[in-house]
Amino acid sequence: MSLWTPDGEHEVNKGSDSDPNPQVNDDNELTDLPGFDDLTPEQQEQARAMAAELAAARERLSQTPAAEVIANHVMGIYELAAIHLSNDVPNLSEAKVAIDAMSGIVASLVGRLGENETVIKDALQQIQMAYVQMADNSNQAQSEEP
């Protein structure tokens, strides 16, 4: 098995029991990373910096309430639906997938989305109404065609 990097592919020992997430010790040294010794010193330093950034991001994420992270993702799904609805020719089927996903998340987490729950529910209603309006306009345009 190999690992692709911008500098090419590097063989990875498939039988390795190492953690797939590189570990960084207190000195920002990577530990237990197959193929690390095969990298140039510049690549090793870049890998150390990337691993340290990843470890810091993971730490920040672990300190963030899950409801906030989920709210962020739900609003991303909202944006996806809005993009599909705002195309010159709205893509109703793709928008519906995003809206249904958003609806499923909101419905399954009632009372657990924290302070963002009201905003998310309002956004869901808005995008659902926009979808209905676009679908009605599309159906009306199709019925007017000869």
> Is residue 90 predicted with pLDDT exceeding 70?
yes
> Is residue 11 predicted with pLDDT exceeding 70?
yes
Residue 13: predicted pLDDT: 61
The mean pLDDT value for 14-38 works out to 61
**Sign of the Cα pseudo-torsion (100, 102, 104, 106, in order):** negative
Residues in a beta bridge with 24: 30
Q: Are residues 42 and 91 in the same domain?
A: no
Alpha carbon distance 35, 13 (integer Å): 8
Q: Which domain holds residue 10?
A: 2-62
Q: Are residues 111 and 72 in the same domain?
A: yes
Q: What is the pTM of this model?
A: 0.68
Q: Are residues 58 and 72 in the same domain?
A: no
More confident position, 68 or 14: 68
Tokens of 58: 């993971």
> Is residue 69 predicted with pLDDT exceeding 90?
yes
Q: Are residues 104 and 54 in the same domain?
A: no
Final residue of a domain: which of 35, 62, 89? 62
Q: Are residues 77 and 38 in the same domain?
A: no
Q: Are residues 97 and 36 in the same domain?
A: no
- Cα distances from 98 to residues 86, 104, 110, in angstroms, run 14, 10, 19
| 45-54, 69-78, 130-139: segment of lowest average pLDDT | 45-54
Q: Are residues 37 and 100 in the same domain?
A: no
Percent of the chain with pLDDT over 70: 77
The set of residues, in sequence order, having a beta carbon less than 8 Å from that of 13 and lying 6+ positions away, is 34
Count of C-beta atoms within a 10 Å radius of residue 24:
19
Query: How many domains does the chain divide into?
Result: 2
> Is residue 26 predicted with pLDDT exceeding 90?
no
| 14-18, 91-95, 128-132: segment of lowest average pLDDT | 14-18
DSSP secondary structure code for residue 37 in this structure: G
Percent of the chain with pLDDT over 90: 57
Alpha carbon distance 139, 136 (integer Å): 5
Residue 109: predicted pLDDT: 97
